[in-house]
Amino acid sequence: MMVIRPIRANDYPALYQMAVESGHGFTSLPVNEELLMRKISRSMASFNKTVSSPGDEGYLFVLEDTSSGQVCGTSALEAAVGLEDAFYHYHLGKVVHSSKTLGVYKTVDILTLCNDYTGVSELCTLFLRPPFRQKFNGRLLSKMRFLFLAEFAERFSDKIIAELRGVSDAQGNSPFWQWLQAHFFSVDFPTADYLTGIGQKEFIAELMPKYPIYVSLLSKAAQQVIGQVHEQTRPALALLESEGFSCRGYVDIFDAGPTVEARISQIRAIRDSQRLQVRIAEATGSGEAYMICNTTLSDFRACWAELQPQANSTEISIPAELAKALQVNAGEWVRISKL
């Protein structure tokens, strides 16, 4: 059975392997032993911390195949970004150049460096190893975070974002960054991305252009990728859009990939989720695919299963095997939402 759980210290080798496999442009999983160990330690501390409002907490989950003990993927939540380190974006806006005398009216797109998302929560670090990209594994790994948000709402902001990987080639070259590099920087995209991933962001404030950039002055290749996602990221974008996320003109400062946002209360999986009491019973037939999680913080568990919730009932029947995987007993509470 595939089970989502909080990361543990002994998951480090698997996390490192996923960092290697994730490749260029995956800022939140740099191939750096010290940083990855720090991420694990910070997550373990966050799950054991008493919290009444969002702060500098990060929750890192793994997807485990319980039959083999193999870790197959990871995903994470940040409670509030930008509180310790500056959190940068470009905002795509417009300025108007007009002259009544000359009869000229021209609208021009501009990119402005900003910190507008400081303090909001973030969906991040979603990676599923290629051999396990089947059935509902990817959907569970991504969307189970909504159940966690619903259950522990006091730990998060009322708004949440997700940064999506922008366009780059197999060698990690980004058309957008190539233009910035030629005019403002002397480091390539993989290096800049890696430095950001390990927390060395000083160079952004030091070297990024301080004034808005006119999009028309960028190379044609750079202009074409603004707000576009990497080919491998399109399914993730479609999933988030189906849940109510949308782009408000904010893009990544390195590869110009889009950042999407939503009010937590308006996310479909959260809005439609139910909190029900467990009844242990063998399945009587096939149901619909649901995500299901327990309601315990430090021992959080989530799975997907075919369930048959009854209208207007406060209980849900689940088989003993599923109850064991979720670490729940009869009479305890779970939260469910359709996949």
Q: Which of these, 217, 116, 126, lies nearest to 176 by C-alpha position?
A: 217
> Which of the four pLDDT bands, split at 50, 70 and 90, describes residue 243?
very high
Quick: pLDDT tens for 267-277. Answer: 999 999 999 99
pLDDT at 172: 74
Residue 205, pLDDT above cutoff 70: no
Q: Take residue 314 and report the two structure tokens written for it.
A: 């406060």
pLDDT at 253: 87
State which of 22-31, 200-209, 210-219 shows the largest mean pLDDT: 210-219
Q: Which fold has domain 2-89+115-269?
A: Aminopeptidase (3.40.630)
Quick: pLDDT tens for 249-268. Answer: 999 988 899 999 999 999 99
Quick one: average pLDDT of 25-42?
85
* Distance separating alpha carbons of residues 292 and 300, to the nearest angstrom: 11
* Distance separating alpha carbons of residues 256 and 225, to the nearest angstrom: 7
> Which of the four pLDDT bands, split at 50, 70 and 90, describes residue 184?
confident
pLDDT at 173: 81
Q: Give me the amino acid identity at 94.
A: K
What is the percent of the chain where pLDDT is above 70?
Answer: 93
Output the CA–CA distances (angstroms, integers) from residue 138 to 74, 86, 331, in the order listed: 10, 30, 30
**How many degrees, rounded to 5, is the angle at CA 88 between CA 217 and CA 162?**
105
User: 314 and 267 in contact (C-beta within 8 Å)?
Assistant: no
**How many degrees, rounded to 5, is the angle at CA 20 between CA 45 and CA 71?**
55
Q: Take residue 205 and report the two structure tokens written for it.
A: 């404030």
Active site residues: 230
> Which of the four pLDDT bands, split at 50, 70 and 90, describes residue 174?
confident
Where is pLDDT greater, at 125 or 205?
125
Residue 214, pLDDT above cutoff 80: yes
Quick: pLDDT tens for 286-311. Answer: 789 999 999 999 999 999 999 999 88
pLDDT at 49: 95
Q: Give me the amino acid identity at 307.
A: L
Q: Which of these, 188, 186, 201, 181, lies nearest to 84 by C-alpha position?
A: 201
Domains of the chain: which residue ranges? 2-89+115-269, 273-338
Output the CA–CA distances (angstroms, integers) from residue 38 to 28, 41, 339, in the order listed: 12, 5, 32
Q: Take residue 114 and report the two structure tokens written for it.
A: 């900003």
* Distance separating alpha carbons of residues 27 and 99, to the nearest angstrom: 44
Quick: pLDDT tens for 219-239. Answer: 999 999 999 999 888 988 999
Residue 200, pLDDT above cutoff 70: no
* Distance separating alpha carbons of residues 88 and 101, to the nearest angstrom: 39
User: 266 and 244 in contact (C-beta within 8 Å)?
Assistant: yes
* Block residue for tokens 């960028």: 218
> Which of the four pLDDT bands, split at 50, 70 and 90, describes residue 331?
very high
- Fill in the DSSP letter of residue 132: G
Give 273-338's CATH code, choosing from 3.30.1490.100, 2.40.40.20, 3.20.20.70, 3.40.190.10.
2.40.40.20
User: 57 and 149 in contact (C-beta within 8 Å)?
Assistant: no
pLDDT at 182: 82
**3-class state of residue 269 by DSSP:** helix
* Distance separating alpha carbons of residues 232 and 238, to the nearest angstrom: 12
Q: Which has the minimum average pLDDT: 78-87, 94-103, 221-230, 282-291?
A: 282-291
> Which of the four pLDDT bands, split at 50, 70 and 90, describes residue 194?
low
How many other CB atoms are there within 10 angstroms of residue 307's CB atom? 20
pLDDT at 211: 86
Bridge pairing between strands 274-280 and 315-318: parallel
Task: Residue count of the chain, please give it.
Answer: 339
* Distance separating alpha carbons of residues 28 and 288, to the nearest angstrom: 34
User: 62 and 19 in contact (C-beta within 8 Å)?
Assistant: no
How many other CB atoms are there within 10 angstroms of residue 159's CB atom? 16
> Which of the four pLDDT bands, split at 50, 70 and 90, describes residue 175?
very high
Output the CA–CA distances (angstroms, integers) from residue 84 to 15, 29, 34, 207, 299, in the order listed: 24, 18, 18, 20, 27
Residue 280 pairs in a beta bridge with: 318
Q: Take residue 165 and report the two structure tokens written for it.
A: 């990987």
